[in-house]
Structure 1
Amino acid sequence: MATDSTGTDGAGRQRPIVIVGASLGGAKAAQALREAGYTGGIVLIGEEHERPYERPPLSKGYLLGKSSREKIYVHPPQWYAEHDVTLRLGTRVVSIDPAAHTVTLADNGQVEYAKLLLTTGSVPRRLPLPDTELGDFGGVHYLRRVEDSERIRKEFRPGARIVVIGAGWIGLETAAAARAAGAEVTVLEAAELPLLRVLGREVAQVFADLHRDHGVDLRFGVGVAGLTGEDGRVTGVRLADGTTVPADAVVVGVGIAPDTALAEAAGLEVENGIKTDEHLRTSDPDIHAAGDVANAFHPLLGRHIRVEHWANAVNQPQTAARAMLGEDAVFDRVPYFFSDQYDLGLEYVGWVEPGGYDRVVFRGDPATREFIAFWLAEGKVLAGMNVNIWDVTDPIRSLIRSGRVVDPARLANPDVPLGDI
């Protein structure tokens, strides 16, 4: 069992472990600390008024109206008191003083810490346009918090004209939910295909075909110049070519940015997120980071990576918790994410930089939307995505971790078990 190695304040009182970010990652870190045997104080601070919840349902089941609000929460309300976790919601941390081991709150209160974990997550990127081109219109939405999902869902009704800006995961999942509600959907994307940077041309085409088959008006290679409105409500999206796409509501999904403001002001090393080692320790030995905000060194890949997906928010806090308690814990899990759109479900395991592969091998026919795609470089599997095929993530993960050169013909042959390649 891990022992308490935290410090004390000037009066000899034990300082708690403080977690800034009452998110999925923050809640999982508190849970991991207790499961590791830590008996000291835990203070979990969050700016939102909701207790920690999971974000994937906000663009999936909850947005579709298929799951209840209660199912999005990480723990039931009583869990925090039962596990002696001080949960401070609606509380904004405005600064960190690493030398004094304190965080300062918006009300000028201070909380001392022995160890600090930052799970501040990300914020949606705004449309990169002057305010004069955006207007102050109702019906323009960004999706990050539960109330965002609820506002967007109210816009989805039969015949409503919904324009989605951005054909990434959030944009496509939102488009699918809107179509399921009977809305007319247009997706605007600057690239030539959806998810092009993530999946490459070979696989991105699958998602273009999927959404067109479900009646989505996909427009690629377009630039957004501004929004139009009337009586305080958005009426359209003006494109760079001067045309306007009519809209009853607009959902902007142009990516997210790591919320590093506190870390930067505190003097921590920041580069595409808060930079950490494999123990999720920042440039300050008493401060760790986990989840969307962490740009962590990955021993298997031999480089720093920042992953904006649910699995990191679930798994990284376990490593951070053990590391804060003095264990030699290392985070080396292969990245994983999933998505559901219409009747297509997928799981993706691995990590590929844009253009960082030299070949895609398909096991099955992509046209059937029941296949596995493998991204290879120099004969080694970097990543694999199973579409409407299940229970294969473990062997795909093993192929990636092995780092061995594979035979593409055997990889493509569904009669050869993945475990035998």
Structure 2
Amino acid sequence: MTSRLELARVDLRGRTPSVAELRSALPRGGVDVDSVLHHVRPVVEAIRERGVAAALEYGQRFDNVTPATVRVPESELETALAQLDPAVRAALEESIARARKVHADQRRTDTTTEVVAGGTVTERWVPVERVGLYVPGGNAVYPSSVVMNVVPAQTAGVGSLVVASPPQEQFGGLPHPTVLAAARLLGVDEVWAVGGAQGIALLSYGGVDTDGTEIEPVDLITGPGNIYVTAAKRLCRGLVGIDAEAGPTEIAILADASADPVHVAADLISQAEHDVLAASVLVTDSAELADAVDTALTAQMAVVRHAERVSEALRGKQSGTVLVDDIAQGLRVVNAYAAEHLEIQTADASTVAAEVRSAGAVFVGPYAPVSLGDYCAGSNHVLPTAGCARHSSGLSVQTFLRGIHVVEYSETALKDVAGHVVALAEAEDLPAHGQAVRARFEALS
């Protein structure tokens, strides 16, 4: 008989905690990236010094396999696509089509502002030249992450892109065939069989493949990974850009008595399925719903495939139920928590969702579960974790664009403002700045 699974509870009823108190009181897990930096730094340094050879050595140590070349032959991409299950292919095609539709509307246009007559500032949006898109292995296979990384990069118009994913011993040193098939379906022709910290480092430094082919470094790396991948991104940041230091996945559900406890339980389990460190948090003003969700969790755990992993995640300190006085207080809680994924399952879900200020993505009503966003909503599932949604956004076309200001002033326009430039330069004790303007209008002695 399955033992009852009860989420740990935080009772905020009758209290008005400050934002700081909320942040400390709410369930939160996460990982300590600093704790593994000393393990990862030698890996990064080895790849910087010895390139592909070092990456393959670490791959053998961590993945128990050494691919013949880092770059996957295009013939293998074609084979993987040809052998892809038709149902999976159809699902990926639909996911790609919806993602392309949403991301196409994120394109930026250049804007020119006439500051004064003869003086303009144009903001040009220029795509990153070369990007590395990391797709993890581990507990699951993530062709959906190929879609979520590649579509916005392609839509932004990046010059070139490479997908990197760990080699798999069971597939002869190639990444998982479904990952290869997804890449080919998207028109990607460059995939590297390298993962982990060594994969991030190789994307950053490049090198020469075992067949003598140059593999070029990238300018920006995106995509989630484990703590070692995150540590490598931290160490390589500056040499390359990164999207974020992603942590374990998380879901928060703001629900009232109108929510279906079976739906709520299923959605909490869906994210706990990712990782023992995944966070599943229910915020509700109904103790009766909280009890019913615990009952539904217990019932559903009897048929969950990855029950041990899910149970550990749900029982961890990062998961739990937060009881609040009302939905208004619940909104304060979820805005302080800033979940990667936030579901609103209340009687007036659209109105409540409009009050959300901090979340990676918001899923509104009973028929918009997080798993829809993972695959086929059209939204992007590479989202900020660990409270970073308070200040950061998920992956989008904008991630792969750079805004460049182009300043163009006529002689008259510069002359009109020259006095102000000189005054500010003198105020900052940078007289040469002012002289750079004076020199255009005054004869040099």
Please give the range of the TM-score, normalised by the shorter of the 2 chains: under 0.3
What's the TM-score once normalised by structure 1's chain length? 0.28
Q: Which has the higher contact order (CA 8 A, sep 6+)?
A: 2
